[in-house]
Amino acid sequence: MPAKLTHLKKGKARMVDVSAKPDTARTAVAKGFVSMSREALAAIRSQATPKGDPLETARVAGILAAKRTPELIPLCHPLLLSHVDVDLKLKSKGIEITSRVTTTGPTGVEMEALTAASVAALTLYDMVKALDKSMVISGIRLMEKTGGKSGTYRRET
């Protein structure tokens, strides 16, 4: 049986009322990847990119984006986030992004984690596009979520 879409009522979009839901500790982890040329990766490694440090800029942008998620996604609840972490790892073909968001509240932080990973990826693209316009942002996905009535979810890969 398919899950009920709680954001629709009689075909109209609405914000779900979470006032009766208990506060629980909640965490979400999202990932993404920006593939790029060897030359662009070498410039990042040697800190020779034209706009400055793309990794630190993307990390901060991801954190800020998680905090601004309800301004970007219309039906998201504003949440008091306890912690946001954005980790960027240089790999052989690009940069792997992992965001982790935590809160204690009546609704989850999946959208905040996904937004953090997405904006970090977009920021990397912006910071490095002068060196490689063929970069590809891919694999934005929820890896894990804990807390709430639906419990724990973990993606295998």
The Cβ of residue 99 has, within 10 Å, a number of other Cβ atoms equal to 31
- Answer for the pair 36, 137: CB distance below 8 angstroms, yes or no: no
The Cβ of residue 144 has, within 10 Å, a number of other Cβ atoms equal to 16
The Cβ of residue 5 has, within 10 Å, a number of other Cβ atoms equal to 8
DSSP symbols for 97-112: EEEEEEEEESS--HHH
Those residues whose C-beta lies under 8 Å from the C-beta of residue 24, and which sit 6 or more positions away, are 104, 105, 106, 147, 148
Cα–Cα distance for residue pair 90/96, rounded to 1 Å: 7
Active site annotation includes 126: yes
- Helix (H) or strand (E) holding 33, with range, is strand 24-35
Catalytic one of 23, 85, 126, 132: 126
Tally the C-alpha atoms within 13 A of residue 7's C-alpha that lie toward its C-beta: 7
Catalytic residue IDs: 126
